[in-house]
Amino acid sequence: MPSPERAIVPVLQHAGPAARILVRRGDKVRVGQSIAEPSGPDSAAVHSPVSGTVISVGDFPHPRGGRGLAAEIENDGADTAVEMSGMDKPWNDADPMEIVERIRACGVVGMGGAGVPVQAKILPGAVKPAETLIVNCTECEPLATADLRLVKEHAVEILTGALIIRKVLGAKRALVAVDSGPGGVMPCLATACKKPEFGDLTLAPVAPKYPQSEEKILVRTLTRREVPPGGTCADAGCVVLNAATVFAVARAVLSGIPLYERVLTAGGPCAAAPKNLLVRVGTPVSAVLEHCKTDMKRARKVVMGGPMRGVALAELDTPVIKTTYGVFAFESLAPAVQQYNCIGCGRCMRACPMRLVPAYLRRFVDKNMIDEAAQWGIADCIECGSCAYVCPSKINLVHYMMLGKHRLAALAKGEAA
C-alpha cells in the first residue's frame, strides 16, 4: 500500500530496551535513515520509513497498549532514500561478525511475535552454540497469511537468508518448517529447495495446528527436545526465526535495506477487501484499515496481531511496527460475552501446549497466591490463548496469566530491591 502521509515511528519496536532517539523536531530524514540507535546489545536500531520532516518527537499510542516515545514524520512523498548497498564481497566470503553487524545496523528483529533483535539471537560467542537453525515458514496465527504470501513470492530470498544465518551460527543443520496441510506453501518451498545451492536445507513439514508455530512447540516437534522451564530455544540447541525475519536478514545482508517495511495481513470480518499488504512501519492502523475498505461503523474491536494473541487497540492512529503481522477489525466482542463460573472441565489443561493447568493458575492469581502460581509454572505460559479459546465458561484466562506474571515480576523486583 502507499506510504502514509504521516508516519509515527516508535523507538521501541522490539523486545529489550528502547532505542535512543537520534532526530529532533524539524530534522529532515530520508527513507532508511537511522533515526534511533540501539541502546544496548539487546536493543535494535530504528529507521525512517518515509522521507520528509520530523514534526514532533513525543508520546504516541503504542501497539502494545498505552503510549510510548515515537517520532512523527511528515511524508514529503518523494521517497528519497539513503544510499543502500550490499556488502562489498559475497556473503559467503564475509566474516560472520561482519554479517551480524550489518543485521544489527539494519535493525532486524524477530517479526513473528516478541521481536527479539536478531543479533541477540545469533551473535557468535554471546549465545549458546546452536546445532539447528529452524526457519519457521508456518503461519503464526489463524487468519494471518502474510508469511505464506511472503514465502510464495520470495522463497529464494528466504532460503538464501537461511543459508546466511546458518553460516553465522555454524549450525549443523538448517530446517525449513512448513505447514503440511493442503493449500499451503509446501510445494513452492519444495521446488525452491531442489536448487543445488539450497541442498543443505531440509524441508520439515509440520501439522498446521495452532500453536504449532510457537518456537518452543516447533523445536519440540522437529527435534523432540523440550526447552526447560525458564529457558530459551538456545537451551535446546536451536535458533528459530520466522520467514519474514529471515527475509529481512537477506535484504539487509544482500542489499543493505534496513527494516522499515513489512508484509502484514489486513482485514478481518469487517473488511470488504481483506488482503496482504506491504506496509511501511509507522503507518497508522486507520490507514491500513481504510486501504482494505473496512466498514468502521460495524467494527467494535480493532486488533493488532492476530485473533489469538493480538492486542485490542483503543486508538486507531496506533502505528504499525516491525512485529505487526496483522491488523483486523472484528464485529464481535468475543471475551465480553456472558461468563460463567469455572466448572472444572479441564479443557484448558488439555489445550495448553505447555501442559499447565490454567484453571488452577487462574484461581491462584485471583486469590493473589502468586507463590503457588509460580510453583505451578505460570512463568512458562506462552500466552497462546488456547485455554481461553476452549473455555466453555468464557473466562479470560490469558488476562489472568498476564496479570499473574506481572505480579510475579513485581514481586521478584521488590525482593531484589
Cβ neighbourhood burial of 333 (10 Å; 0-12, 13-18, 19+): exposed
Residues 76, 29 contacting (CB under 8 angstroms): no
Cα end-to-end distance, the chain, whole Å: 48
- Taking the complex as a whole, the smallest distance from the CB of residue 300 to another protein amounts, in Å, to 5
Question: Of residues 11, 354, 365, 370, which one binds another protein by CB under 8 A?
Answer: 354
- SS3 call for 295: coil
- Taking the complex as a whole, the smallest distance from the CB of residue 325 to another protein amounts, in Å, to 14
Distance CA 282, CA 35 (A): 13
Span near another protein by CB under 8 A; candidates 94-102, 160-168, 196-204, 352-360: 352-360
- Taking the complex as a whole, the smallest distance from the CB of residue 377 to another protein amounts, in Å, to 5
Contact track, another protein, 277-316, x by CB under 8 A: -------x-x---------xx-xxxxx-x-xxxxxxxxxx
Question: Of residues 21, 174, 356, 365, which one binds another protein by CB under 8 A?
Answer: 356
Q: Buried b vs exposed e over 245-270: b needs ≥16 C-beta within 10 Å?
A: bbbbbbbbbbebbbbbbbbbbbbbbb
Distance CA 399, CA 388 (A): 9
If you ran DSSP here, which 8-state letter would residue 134 be given?
A: E
Distance CA 172, CA 209 (A): 28
Residues that bind another protein (rule: CB under 8 A) add up to a total of 68
Beta carbon nearer to another protein, 156 or 296 = 296
Q: CA angle, corner 110, sides to 104 and 114, nearest 5?
A: 125
Question: Of residues 212, 388, 404, 405, which one binds another protein by CB under 8 A?
Answer: 388
Contact track, another protein, 149-188, x by CB under 8 A: ----------------------------------------
- Taking the complex as a whole, the smallest distance from the CB of residue 163 to another protein amounts, in Å, to 30
Span near another protein by CB under 8 A; candidates 18-26, 130-138, 157-165, 382-390: 382-390
**Is residue 10 at the binding interface for another protein, with CB under 8 A as the rule?**
no
Span near another protein by CB under 8 A; candidates 105-113, 129-137, 197-205, 325-333: 325-333
Of 205, 231, 203, 206, the closest CA to residue 216 belongs to 231
Q: Are strands 201-206 and 173-179 parallel, antiparallel or unpaired?
A: parallel
Distance CA 126, CA 133 (A): 16
The interface with another protein within residues 39-98 (CB under 8 A) comprises 60
If you ran DSSP here, which 8-state letter would residue 404 be given?
A: H
Residues 72, 8 contacting (CB under 8 angstroms): yes
If you ran DSSP here, which 8-state letter would residue 204 be given?
A: E
**Is residue 113 at the binding interface for another protein, with CB under 8 A as the rule?**
no
Residues 188, 152 contacting (CB under 8 angstroms): yes
**Is residue 380 at the binding interface for another protein, with CB under 8 A as the rule?**
yes
**Is residue 345 at the binding interface for another protein, with CB under 8 A as the rule?**
yes
Q: Which residues bind another protein (CB under 8 A)?
A: 60, 142, 216, 220, 226-229, 231, 284, 286, 296-297, 299-303, 305, 307-317, 328, 330, 333-337, 340-346, 349, 353-357, 359-360, 376-377, 380, 383, 385, 388-394, 396, 398-399, 402
